Amino acid sequence: MLEIARFVLPDAPQRVAPFSHAVRAGGFLFVTGQMPTLPGGGHAMVEGGIEPRCGR
């Protein structure tokens, strides 16, 4: 039987639905997409693109 583990991370952005932040199924790990919110900022959007945060 396939082992499935669901992960809800306390330091990740708050979930907006009853979904897990990540799911491990057998040898695969599925993670949610990155949410454009500030840590601790509720639903405040991060301004600008991703390039400044990647050192580009």
Q: Does pTM top 0.85 for this prediction?
A: no
Domain count, the chain: 1
Chain centroid to Cα 46, Å, comes to: 15
* 6 within domain boundaries: yes
Domain extent at residue 14 = 1-32
Higher-pLDDT residue of 51, 55:
51
* 48 within domain boundaries: no
- Strand-pairing partners, residue 22, are 7, 31
* 15 within domain boundaries: yes
* 49 within domain boundaries: no
Contact 38, 23 (CB under 8 A): no
The CA radius of gyration of the chain, in Å to the nearest whole number, is 14
* 38 within domain boundaries: no
Residue identified by tokens 């396939």 is 2
* 27 within domain boundaries: yes
Tens of pLDDT, residues 16-46: 778 888 899 999 999 876 665 566 666 666 6
Give me the pLDDT at residue 32, please.
Answer: 78
* 2 within domain boundaries: yes
